[in-house]
Amino acid sequence: MNQASIRRFIFTLITGYLAIFGVQQIPYEFPNQWAVLIPVLIVVYIITVWLDGVFFKDDQPLEKLPASVTKANKKKSSKKSNGFGDT
């Protein structure tokens, strides 16, 4: 696991715990508490991933191709064809 995965996991645990604690503090008695907790935890995970992207933008992919390689690939793919059988 890399550092970003561990950070996101810990962040999700903390926010998930706070969400469960918040749902249990509601003064309404739910007939099925899991029917409320599962959607809340899904929303918490989505918000956690979004916030992780907002706060930690500095994590860049390690294998990024240089611009000259991507330009060479674009030149090769811009070949024009004149018909179905023409090469």
User: Does 18 score more than 70 pLDDT?
Assistant: yes
> Who has greater pLDDT, 1 or 2?
2
In this model, does residue 27 exceed pLDDT 60? yes
Length of the chain in terms of residues written: 87
| Range 62-76 average pLDDT | 58
Question: What is the mean predicted confidence (pLDDT) over 47-75?
Answer: 68
pTM of the full structure:
0.57
Distances in Å between the alpha carbon of 14 and those of 7, 20, 21? 11, 10, 11
pLDDT over 80 at 65, yes or no: no
> What is the mean pLDDT of the segment spanning 60-78?
57
| pLDDT at residue 79 in the model | 60
Is residue 46 within 8 A of residue 19, CB to CB? The reply is no
Average the pLDDT over 51-55 and give the result. Answer: 85
